[in-house]
A and B are shown apart, each in its own frame.
Chain A
């Protein structure tokens, strides 16, 4: 019983530290990759704004789209 308790305390403690490290590494990663031009996150912010059925998706979900075209043709 004691042992589980001790193990858990350590687990809890190290997970805490790991979480903090991961979270801060993550935000760094986000800003870095955008600075380097590897990713553009902010364009996804427009998902909420350009949301008419007739608006062009930012990135088409290709596979699904072709299936759908077929089903529309059939009907």
Chain B
């Protein structure tokens, strides 16, 4: 090989994003736990004056987890996987390395401004794109920088074929770019009138149109960030950690295109029983159901990759995280279409079942996948074995318990609430006043909050384990090929 022998992969950018993943993970989860407890104990709204109320904290929680924790995790993965499957090193390409650094630091600036502005109540109110327009522009810059890194790296690649993970990264990049721009088209009011706050703007679309665009965005942004980008990670980390090539490359091709064609057609399902026409609602539901097939292709592919290798599940906590992540992926891709069936949706919409569904996806699938990715990358980036396998085991079970408490309590709460809203007495009038349907849920809100707390505790154990791995664990002289070395401690 004509490659410079001293050349190694450059992990410096990936490391930065790893730190960000951990910090945003803790902050985002903590905020989530706080607002979960607020719903059971409303007095907790007053811990920080107007800045601590549920309404202020909720966008901070969602943005912190989606754009902080998840994106950092995805990018830590990209700057690690990208070089490896393309067989290039950023040490050879100072330009790409510089782009990576700028990307990271601008992103951190953006997140800091986002936190400050959301605390101050500067929001557009649109879910998952709450940021005011100047920050939206900064988002575009950060995104473009990622694009330069993505396509720039592919431009200099030594390996001709793009590995599966890269398809999903490309899809994520393109789709989020388009969705984000269209959803955030707005008119800054200061520049029209010459009065008021320069950061204020109003949406280009009104009412139902605005809702259409928002849910087109809302559904697909989640689809790509929480699905496509995380699939990109699992297609690399599961085969690599287990030492098994993916069960079927053909199936992965099929499920990629299947998912891309079908997923984007199902965006209507958030609008069921609102004011959009009937047929659109029906079609939206039907497509969400068809959606199961290609999205399960990925999960099935993952589980079959482990065929004959199930003993690894006992031996490696990382495999445990990966396999459970795939399982939760299947669960939430099954639950989503069920919820979009008209009659189910009539019951479930606006209830706690929806956050329940979102969280078995985010905590189980996204969270576990990113945690597993970090456990796989850190020993290679720092040339040390993982500090404690026992701690990983404990973390796994604590977090899994947390997730189960979370979604089971929200299932019950959601269905109870939906049933009570529509219950009638023998004369056909409503059986419950609204407040009855609130107070009955308090125990479930409590259980949910405890579930969230367990997950946060697990995440802190994870953080401790990672820090100890970096600073105190036994050094290894060579990058392990497959299974990550874990200390028995």
A: residues with CB less than 8 A from B are 5, 9, 12, 16, 19, 22-23, 26-27, 30-31, 34, 41-42, 44-49, 51-61, 64-65, 68-69, 72
- A-binding segment of B14-22, B63-71, B158-166, B316-324: B158-166
Contact among A45, A54, A68 with B92 in the assembled complex (CB-CB below 8 Å): A68
Q: Is the CB of A64 within 8 A of B254?
A: no
Identify which of residues 469-489 in chain B touch chain A, using a CB-to-CB cut-off of 8 Å.
479, 482
Q: Is the CB of A61 within 8 A of B248?
A: no
Would A65 and B85 be within 8 Å (CB), given that A48-B245, A49-B243, A54-B3 are in contact? no
B: residues with CB less than 8 A from A are 1-4, 7-9, 84-85, 87, 89, 92, 155-161, 163-165, 235-236, 239-240, 243, 245-246, 248-250, 253-254, 257-258, 261-262, 265, 277, 279, 283, 287, 294, 479, 482
- What is the number of contacts between chain A and chain B, taking CB atoms within 8 Å? 102
CB neighbours (8 Å) of A52 from chain B are 84, 479
Q: Which of A31, A49, A68 has the most CB atoms of chain B within a 10 A radius of its CB?
A: A49
CB neighbours (8 Å) of A49 from chain B are 239-240, 243, 245, 482
CB neighbours (8 Å) of B243 from chain A are 49
CB neighbours (8 Å) of A19 from chain B are 261-262, 265
Q: Is the CB of A61 within 8 A of B158?
A: yes
Contact among B3, B165, B253, B265 with A30 in the assembled complex (CB-CB below 8 Å): B253
The smallest beta-carbon distance between A19 and chain B, in angstroms, is 5
How far, in angstroms, from A13 to B279 measured CA to CA in the complex?
11
CB neighbours (8 Å) of B9 from chain A are 53
Q: Is the CB of B249 within 8 A of A26?
A: no
Contact among A5, A16, A31, A65 with B250 in the assembled complex (CB-CB below 8 Å): A31
CB neighbours (8 Å) of B236 from chain A are 48
How far, in angstroms, from A60 to B160 measured CA to CA in the complex?
6
Q: Is the CB of B84 within 8 A of A51?
A: yes
Contact among A27, A34, A45, A57 with B159 in the assembled complex (CB-CB below 8 Å): A57
CB neighbours (8 Å) of B1 from chain A are 54, 56
Contact among B89, B249, B294 with A42 in the assembled complex (CB-CB below 8 Å): B249
Contact among A9, A41, A61 with B253 in the assembled complex (CB-CB below 8 Å): A41
Q: Is the CB of A12 within 8 A of B235?
A: no
Would A45 and B261 be within 8 Å (CB), given that A51-B85, A56-B1 are in contact? no
CB neighbours (8 Å) of B157 from chain A are 61, 64
The smallest beta-carbon distance between A4 and chain B, in angstroms, is 12
Contact among A9, A22, A44 with B249 in the assembled complex (CB-CB below 8 Å): A44
Q: Is the CB of B161 within 8 A of A44?
A: yes
Q: Which of B159, B279, B482 has the most CB atoms of chain A within a 10 A radius of its CB?
A: B159
Q: Is the CB of A12 within 8 A of B283?
A: yes
Contact among A30, A34, A72 with B4 in the assembled complex (CB-CB below 8 Å): A72
Q: Is the CB of A34 within 8 A of B158?
A: no
